[in-house]
Amino acid sequence: MKRFILSISIVALALVTACPAHALAAIYSYDDGGTREADICIYGATSGGIMAAYTAKKAGKSVILIEPSRRIGGLTAGGLGFTDIGRVEIIRGHALEFYRRVGKTYGSNEPAFKFEPKVALSVFEGFLRDADITVLMERRIVKASKKGNLLTQITLEDASNQHRPKLKVSARMFIDCSYEGDLMARSGVSYTVGRESNATYGEDYNGVQMLEKHQFPDGVDPYKEKGNPKSGLLYGISPLPMGRQGQADKRVQAYNFRITMTRNPANRIPITRPARYDSTKYELLLRWKEVEPWKNLNDAFAWDFMPNDKTDINNRNGFSTDMIGANWDYPEASYKKRARIVRDHLDYTKGLLYFVAHDPRIPEHIRKEIGEWGYPKDEYLDSEHFTPQLYIREARRMIGRYVMTQANCQRKRTAEDPIAWAAYTMDSHNAGRFVVNGMVKNEGDVQIYIPGKYNVSYRSITPKEQEAANLLVPVCLSASHIAYGSIRMEPVFMVLGQTSAMAACQAIDNSCTVQHVDSHRIIGQLEEK
């Protein structure tokens, strides 16, 4: 079996002008095909996947870590440097060590929760190097083979060249750390996409929700010709009916990019007109600002400041970086269609920044304000200085042995088999944009405070035993839509990645299924660290 191992020495010779030093710290592998075996196979080198691999390898298990894309670290290394925590005390184990290492990078002995993407990438590569882990890059699953209720092997294709030989990976245990849940889905495990009704689990904030935050004010006309429904709708407004409050549907909360920019002139690349630019996509922004005039950039962007004059820009208010309604098909789409959806989001986002910076209908003081910013020369060197990681806030969610719900988040129901903790607001971004009483309105945004940290059940990361007895799912875990909105934070995924690996190791050592692991022993070990 021919293998291409890209280590520091090889990359330094071939790509020294294209890659920064921190990108050369870990070892990456691009395999031509054949069959590989390990104790534990981890699909997705997200933050949770890296912590799972590190944990398993340090426990003496052989590990294969697979990343379908060209970059490791998921959202944590992909622009989400303004960390969503909820409560710091929920961060334990290797996750806490990650943030401590970030802090040391900036000269502090305390954990740091605001950081540049390149710093997160470097720290993750340090974890991989410390455990001597090779990441199998740009390989994505096309098939999962089972014998009874046991996964035996997965088949991977080259994401950049589907004509190359397939690679097969066999393992005793499998962990799906992807944001999409692709390994879980191909393993025949039950899952759902979209939003349950409130009635399904006795909740208040599931299903269709038209609330007040991240909303348009009254009076914003949705039609191409104001007041004329026959003229058609402005870009991004759905012609479908919104549905009843609390009603179930298959809509998915909006995705966006967490945008890294800088105002350091020596490190700044100006915002220029992107390919496939279409100014009509932003007409609704102008309509909104006719009703509520511009004050500053924070009207339409959550402009959070990061170290070294950089940003982590997120969605804000009724019209922003969220491409509402453009992602409904993403969770179940083919790889080809997903790529188109990602490209559409990229075009929309770069186009929005250019529109605000250059369109003469934008007030001069706003154009001047954003004109001080640009893309950083020292970030994302292999993707034109813009993050390749789309914010997949939610895709598939497993229907496992225990479903986390609103009652768990509000501490009205307690899981007796904790494997991690969560504490963030019950949070959902808008899922649709509709015409309501002749005005444009967003639907789906929910932000509900919770009273404190709560347990995440071990059963919520394990499938039903008859479906898969050697698979753990710590990212697309078993939760209702609104509960997932609280759990789905990167620090939580890191802890769940670690504890899922601890469970996999215990299952191997005790020759048992993941459903019969002693979760209390795992949480006890985590508390000791």
The pLDDT tens digits for 132-186 are: 999 999 999 999 999 999 999 999 999 999 889 999 999 999 999 999 999 999 9
Token pair of 451, please? 């009273």
Residues of the chain falling short of pLDDT 50: 1-26
CATH code for the domain of 156: 3.50.50.60
Rounded to whole angstroms, what are the CA distances from 248 to 194, 200, 206, 245? 8, 9, 8, 9
Domain region containing 162: 3-193+458-528
pLDDT at 155: 98
Please report which helix (H) or strand (E) contains residue 132, including its range.
none
Q: Is residue 160 part of a domain?
A: yes
Dihedrals φ, ψ of 162, to 5°?
A: -70, -10
How far are the Cα atoms of 49, 312, 313 from residue 81, in angstroms, in the given order? 18, 6, 10
Give this prediction's pTM: 0.93
Q: Which tokens sit at 359?
A: 């369109």
Q: Tokens representing 274?
A: 């992107």
Residue 259: exposure state from Cβ atoms within 10 A (0-12, 13-18, ≥19): buried
Return the pLDDT at 32: 78
Q: What is the pLDDT of residues 460-498, one digit of tens each?
A: 999 999 999 999 999 999 999 999 999 999 999 999 999
Q: Is residue 497 in some structural domain?
A: yes
CA distance 176 to 299: 38
Residue 33 belongs to a domain: yes
- How far the first Cα of the chain sits from its last, in Å, is 40
- Helix-, strand-, coil-residue percentages of the chain, each rounded to 5: 30, 25, 45
Q: For the chain, how many structural domains are there in total? A: 1
Domain membership of residue 163 (yes or no) is yes
- Residue 67 covered by a domain: yes
Radius of gyration of the chain (CA): 23
Q: Is 279 helix (H, G, I), strand (E, B) or coil?
A: helix
139 lies in some domain: yes
Residue 25: Cβ-neighbour burial (10 angstroms; 0-12, 13-18, 19+): middle
